Amino acid sequence: MTTYAGTLTGNPYLDLSQSSEAQNISDIRNMKSMPNSFFDMEYRKRLILDGLTNALTEAAEENREAYIAFLNNTNSLAYAAGFLAHLPADFPFPEISLDNDGDIAIDWDYEPRRIMSISVGKDGTLNFAWLVGYSKQHGIETFKNNIPESILTGIQRVLGIR
């Protein structure tokens, strides 16, 4: 199944918003600002869409293998957008890139021993690993419209919140 969102591609003819994944992207695009919120939702929405668009553009130019793998199944884009939209507003925005297998990589990389890496698959699978000092954890979770506790805890540890 191919999933496109017109504003991500810049081409209204590719806006085939038929699947649930495309609807998730549309929902993110249509998020409303929350009055009196510390983190403006419009700005956050722009960060998400720009981050994903930049990752795809960079892969198209520099990593053809990853880009071709992504084009074979674009569902990882919708799951990554949903994941990013559910991050707490006070978390710093991660680096976003495209893995060679077409999955979306989401990373917080602060020091050699303070790293969180998440790979978002085409079926919503979240492969993750974090390292803080000599403590580490890795695993597999599924994105179902919330961030699994094990991943949230890892991000908080890397950010020094926990």
SS3 102: coil
Q: Does an H or E element contain 47, and which?
A: helix 41-62
Report the pLDDT value the prediction gives residue 47, as an integer from 0 to 100: 86
How far is it, in rounded angstroms, from Cα 46 to Cα 44?
5
Query: Which pTM value belongs to this model?
Result: 0.73
Share of the chain above pLDDT 90, in %: 44
DSSP single-letter state for residue 128: E
Read off the pLDDT band of 45 (50, 70, 90).
Answer: confident
CA 127 to chain centre: 12
How does the average pLDDT of the chain come out, rounded? 81
Asked whether the predicted pLDDT for residue 5 surpasses 70, the reply is no
Top mean-pLDDT range of 101-105, 111-115, 125-129: 125-129
